[in-house]
Amino acid sequence: MKHLSLTICSAAILLFSCNDTDKTSSDTTATDTTKMSSQSATTEAASVTPIPDSVKNRNWMDYMTPGEMHKMMATWDGTWEGETTMWEKPGGAPQTSKGVAINKMAMGGRYQVSTHKGMMMGQPFEGMSILAYDNATKKFKSSWIDNMGTGLIMMEGPWDGTTKTLSLSGKCVDPMMGNGKEMEIREVFRVVDDKNQVVEMYGPGPDGKEFKMMEIKMMKKS
């Protein structure tokens, strides 16, 4: 340890001596580099075409104005009854439960807020989600919270108008592992018709391979 300390001290002294000897040369080089960087920044700034305020305002209006996707979301408003089937592992015994979800558009038809209540694993369950269609990214985005955890799940993905399917992907913590590590999950939301929807959740099984963890059949009541 003593030999290592001496070696480090010697190296530090040598480095300081070299820096002191070359100080004048380094200062000159630094000054030249600063001038070159400044000139380069000025040239780049001059080459950028500014966006007119009228265009900025139009872009913002396009971003904030609800469109066809938001109108579609509004048709999902109402009270839905759900039958949930869950699997802890591939081929495992299914666990079933029932619940109710109430969907309602918010903030001038820009977002859909859903509240969920039911029973899960023998105890009262409640959750809430916010679904958005981002006009800028052309993707759906969703957030989810419930009383079975303290985290926030964020997912996003595209809508397929041909199959009437929304494919979302994201990450969440597996609370049973106790290590705080996130796992990849995805959700497939399919509109069967005006009164029926199906939600499927997928995640990694014990072997790391993806399997269907949950399926919810939603039926509109009002």
Which pTM was predicted? 0.76
pLDDT at residue 176 in the model: 85
Per-residue pLDDT of 5-22, as tens digits, reads 333 333 333 333 334 444
Residue type, 47: S
Per-residue pLDDT of 136-193, as tens digits, reads 999 999 999 999 999 999 999 999 999 999 999 999 998 888 899 999 999 999 999 9
Question: If we measure between CA atoms, which residue out of 129, 137, 60, 68 comes closest to residue 99?
Answer: 129
Residue type, 218: M
Match 């005006």 to its residue by tokens. Answer: 194
pLDDT at residue 46 in the model: 55
pLDDT at residue 48 in the model: 81
| Residue 169 and residue 157 in contact, taking contact as beta carbons nearer than 8 Å | yes
